[in-house]
Amino acid sequence: VQEIDRLIEARWIIPIEPYGTVLEQHSIAVDRGRIVAILPREAALQRYSARTRDVLDHHVVTPGLVNLHTHAAMTLLRGCGDDLPLMQWLTTRIWPVEKALMGEDFVLAGSRLACGEMLRGGITCFNDMYFFPNATARAVQEYGMRACLGITVLEFPSAWAPDADAYLSRGLALRDDLVNEPLISFSLAPHAPYTVADPSFSRIATLAEQLQMPIHLHLHETQDEIREGVEHHGLRPIARMARLGLINPNLIAVHCVHLEPHELELFAHHGVTLAHCPSSNMKLGSGIAPIAEALKAGVSVGIGTDGAASNNRLDMLAEMRLAALLAKGSSGDATAFPAHRVLESATLTAARVLQLDDTIGSIVAGKSADLTAFDLSDHDLQPCFDVASHLVFVVGRESVSDVWIGGNSVVQKRQIVQDTARQAEAEGASALSLWQNRVKIQIGSLS
């Protein structure tokens, strides 16, 4: 009998690899943060003696969900500029309020709020883009979460950096500082084609190749963006990015609501991953990304919530359900984006483009034990014939019961359990009314 740290015994396990697999009455053996084996419950009890046993008789366990696009700290701006189209929303609400309030404490307070929301929603890793990533890093550490933090680049000044060079150098310095943090990695995050100039894009493409980093970019979000791109550069933004060397497997192309068939082919050919954020696209009236067509063309598709200012929840299960429905509804093909493919998008596909698939994204021996358990015993979830379809179409984030990251229990019975996270949550709660008032005053001064 082998001594191990933990045995997670579940009614169902969806390991994501091999594709389409559902294991019944299996256990996940975890030791020193890693998955040691996945085997039938009986056999596990014979082979292992675990210091902790999690007996989950009515639950399905999946890899932790990976939110492929968010702006965590924007939770503080949740619902502060609704019913406005993207450019108006950005220029008359988001940017002025951010300009007035931006700072390390704003980002810390917002990121704490986001980490708690995401963890309780079964998200173990998120791909972020925002100012003061040092503050987001602190929240991530407090909550014991995993994150890929964007080294955001814009041409215009903010409280975080005066110009594109400074955004890059400050971000890269933070990356050096945190190089030994196992749960934190970095991407290069040029904000968008309309906020970043050609020389910065070229530099980012070179850096991404030299440092083997993902590039995290809003791209083809609206028709206006494309029209403006053609006016200023004589090219659609994707063609411009191709010329600047950004269309490659490092690229996480966020939104891509408007794509022509040749652009889908280009993405498929060069291994670009699309980060699909359906709620944000719907809410800002941007349109419906052609996901059924993208999958058919062989493009990798991950799923993101976007920030709470344009969603307004950081809820991956809601995005997964909407993504499946929109792909089917808009293509007229009910077989488009099947449940197992949606689950893979929300885990392994995202892990791959974040260059974390050696560590997370599927339940495989040797990977980190980043796992989410959903309790399916609730009355409103009965009966269940197909647990994968249940996760996409029936289960909501309130069914997330337990979450583990690196083998550590971070959520138990829907409660955040780690001391540092509870402390951060308490501090966050007491700072919240202050921030809410500040945002309110700013919005008042704008209208």
Would you tell me which residues interact with Zn ion (CB under 5 A)? 306
Residue (44 or 192) nearer to Zn ion, CB: 192
Residue (155 or 181) nearer to Zn ion, CB: 155
* CA 403-272-323 angle, 5° bins: 50
Residue whose CB is nearest to Zn ion in the complex, by number: 306
Residue (61 or 277) nearer to Zn ion, CB: 277
To the nearest whole angstrom, how small is the minimum distance from the Cβ of residue 423 to Zn ion?
29
Residue (142 or 306) nearer to Zn ion, CB: 306
Residue (56 or 149) nearer to Zn ion, CB: 149
Q: What is the residue whose two structure tokens read 């980002």?
A: 107
To the nearest whole angstrom, how small is the minimum distance from the Cβ of residue 219 to Zn ion?
11
Residue (279 or 362) nearer to Zn ion, CB: 279
User: How far is the C-alpha of 147 from the C-alpha of 124, rounded, in Å?
Assistant: 8
Residue (63 or 304) nearer to Zn ion, CB: 304
To the nearest whole angstrom, how small is the minimum distance from the Cβ of residue 310 to Zn ion?
7
To the nearest whole angstrom, how small is the minimum distance from the Cβ of residue 55 to Zn ion?
40
User: How far is the C-alpha of 384 from the C-alpha of 16, rounded, in Å?
Assistant: 19
Q: How many CB atoms lie within 10 A of CB 342?
A: 24
216 in Cβ contact with 189 (< 8 Å): yes
Q: How many residues does the chain have?
A: 447
To the nearest whole angstrom, how small is the minimum distance from the Cβ of residue 192 to Zn ion?
9
Residue (85 or 366) nearer to Zn ion, CB: 85
To the nearest whole angstrom, how small is the minimum distance from the Cβ of residue 74 to Zn ion?
9
ω into 383 cis (within 30 of 0) = yes
To the nearest whole angstrom, how small is the minimum distance from the Cβ of residue 275 to Zn ion?
9
To the nearest whole angstrom, how small is the minimum distance from the Cβ of residue 307 to Zn ion?
6
Q: How many CB atoms lie within 10 A of CB 68?
A: 32
